Chains A and B, each alone.
Chain A
């Protein structure tokens, strides 16, 4: 089975993010493998354990520095990497076209994994656009995956804790959600092994990418301004706990 995993090189969510010119972020912060893509790589590795003849190819569109994200995917268990190098900021239409062209050039996929979204642009579109370009079915925010008899049975998480289970024909595109698995992290010996795994770099211009019929570009960005009004919860520990539960239920509404 040939498994492609699309990964994105994103800013570390713990970094001090600064916006430059109201348009982009200061990219001198640490970048790493998009956390949802960790679930995608982990699921691919689990499939390979079931089907050892499989090959896992991690694909990334990004700047030269994105190679470190591909190295992370290789250390987690991908067999080789494919970097489509560009300095351009790509919208999800252009990204999907580039990834589609890179995968087509490389081989024919049996399954394509992505994360359900990237934590920087949060577009949640690329997996659908890749699916459309290939003509493959897509399921996203996957919480479980079962490959049987040439079909993928995927349970997806919807809003409010609901789930829906789909049966997809193969090849298909699956957007991994947090519920899908616990990411496997590499050990140092895994890192050493991954150094010998190949990464092929292609310039975006080398690929036969069809022009998108439209585009979306960022024209303004504003940082999140958090208006916080701290208040002290007092009383005995049991009273404090009860008050926290009340706030989580009635004010934050994160508990039912």
Chain B
């Protein structure tokens, strides 16, 4: 049996669902297919869902700042749809970027000025006033606990931080994708779960449709790869697509830790999102008055590039499977323990292990492909959650423009932001680009 849609979107995470939603609003008949049982259950669920503006490129900052406006206006963005699971909430904590050698914060500040991001400069005393348990010594360079120098007494102080009052996190990333799915369904979008794509079919040099593991064939003139950590595998299924990308993607294993907040510090209600290149960590509050501790990929940390199917099946062994490791637990928690000396670190690791879909330069690919009708929103590198609603709109407009004859490779599509008055050259995210050395080559983007 062959069914027919205008567009098939592979993936129903936080990027796949808004692409469907926006295409539906433009009149496309869409189908999202996902191998998991529900929307947002893949790497979206493992996302720290941080909403912050600092990126290493001006376009990155602009995109993130535009994204804020969507999260702040969530109900309206969803067209007031009802979700039986409730709505995800954006928690505005404010965002502290520690001025350190680990971040090119002067560049970020320049981009903030260019884009018009609101911020304050805080000296050490101001940081301490807002974050009472903090120790503002300089610990740079980032090391691992196995290195004896990790325990050296610091002697210098940091100079302060850049504080953005607009910043925080979304309390339930999987639910946010589910919300967008319900909004898309209200506009006619369809979703199919427990459906694994095994082939992208093409005919006469154009995409024709997909084949599922159970043999079901579904046709559409448009297929969009939003496969997250599986993106490179999906690209390899489509004729000429993988070969046609100058920038490739692969799956990187990442651990995020939970540590209880120190006694007497209500981090959940009084804490800030903090990005701290000096210790290679970022933190945000988590339910249960916990610190959620992410890694900013310091050079001394190992990188495990894994097969996503093996990883999610719990295969590959310690350090390659989906279980936290003691070594990384200690690395991330002890690093934060330097900054927050009263942080208590349990013996048993607690947290989340998931995969990033990382591109060669840690900047995503939002683009068409060498196979007409096949598009990609991939390589989100652990830093695109916050941009998802904007990316949904941008991808829908890009797809529409290309289907109407635009040669995006020659004349890159220009995306007009809806809230902030800027135009974004979508060619910035081209698969054909050379590696962008302005990137931080990390989760910071």
Contacts and interface: CB of A to CB of B under 8 A. Distances in A.
Nearest to B337: A188
Given A28-B317, A32-B326, A195-B151, A14 B341 contact: no
A25 to B, nearest CB: 13
A31 to B, nearest CB: 8
A140 interface: no
Contacts of B151: 192, 195
Contacts of A29: 318, 323
Contacts of B317: 28
Given A14-B323, A16-B321, A30-B318, A191 B347 contact: no
A77 interface: no
Contacts of A68: 326
B342 interface: yes
Contacts, number: 66
Given A30-B349, A195-B151, A188 B321 contact: no
A14 B334 CA distance: 21
Contact of A14 (B260, B343, B348): B348
Contact of A28 (B314, B318, B322): B318
A183 B344 CA distance: 11
B338 interface: yes
Contacts of B436: none
A185 B334 CA distance: 12
A33 B314 CA distance: 23
B349 A186 contact: no
B285 to A, nearest CB: 19
Interface residues of A, number: 25
A64 to B, nearest CB: 15
A100 B408 CA distance: 77
A185 B344 contact: yes
Interface in A6-45: 12-16, 28-33, 35, 38
Interface string B307-329: 00000001001100111111000
The A interface is mostly helix, strand or loop, or mixed, namely loop
A52 interface: no
B346 interface: yes
A30 B346 CA distance: 14
A186 B344 CA distance: 5
Contacts of B334: 188, 191
A72 B343 CA distance: 15
Contact of A187 (B322, B323, B344, B348): B344
Nearest to B327: A30
A187 B349 CA distance: 14
A192 B153 CA distance: 10
Contacts of A195: 151
Query: How many interface residues does chain B have, given as a range?
Result: 20 to 34
A189 interface: yes
B345 A35 contact: no
Nearest to B326: A30
B323 A16 contact: yes
Contacts of A184: 344
A29 B337 CA distance: 25
Contacts of A14: 323-324, 348-350
Nearest to A38: B347
B326 to A, nearest CB: 4
Contact of B345 (A28, A31, A38, A186): A186
Interface string A168-187: 00000000000000011111
B412 to A, nearest CB: 45
A21 to B, nearest CB: 17
Contacts of A12: 323, 326, 348-349
Contacts of A185: 260, 344-347
Nearest to A192: B151
A189 B325 CA distance: 22
B201 to A, nearest CB: 34
A28 B314 CA distance: 14
Contacts of A191: 334, 337, 345
Contacts of A188: 334, 337-338, 341, 343, 345
Interface in B36-63: none
A191 B318 CA distance: 24
A66 to B, nearest CB: 13
B318 A187 contact: no
Interface string B337-364: 1100111111111100000000000000
Contacts of A15: 318, 323
B36 to A, nearest CB: 15
Interface of B: 151, 260, 262, 314, 317-318, 321-326, 334, 337-338, 341-350
23 contacts: A12-B326, A12-B348, A14-B350, A16-B314, A16-B321, A28-B318, A30-B318, A30-B349, A32-B326, A35-B347, A35-B348, A38-B347, A68-B326, A183-B347, A185-B344, A185-B345, A186-B344, A187-B337, A189-B341, A191-B334, A191-B337, A191-B345, A195-B151
Given A183-B346, A185-B344, 6 more contacts: A12-B348, A12-B349, A30-B324, A30-B325, A30-B349, A35-B348
Interface of A: 12-16, 28-33, 35, 38, 68, 72, 183-189, 191-192, 195
A-B pairs, top 9 by smallest CB distance, nearest first, are A188-B337, A185-B344, A30-B326, A185-B346, A16-B314, A33-B347, A72-B347, A32-B347, A15-B323
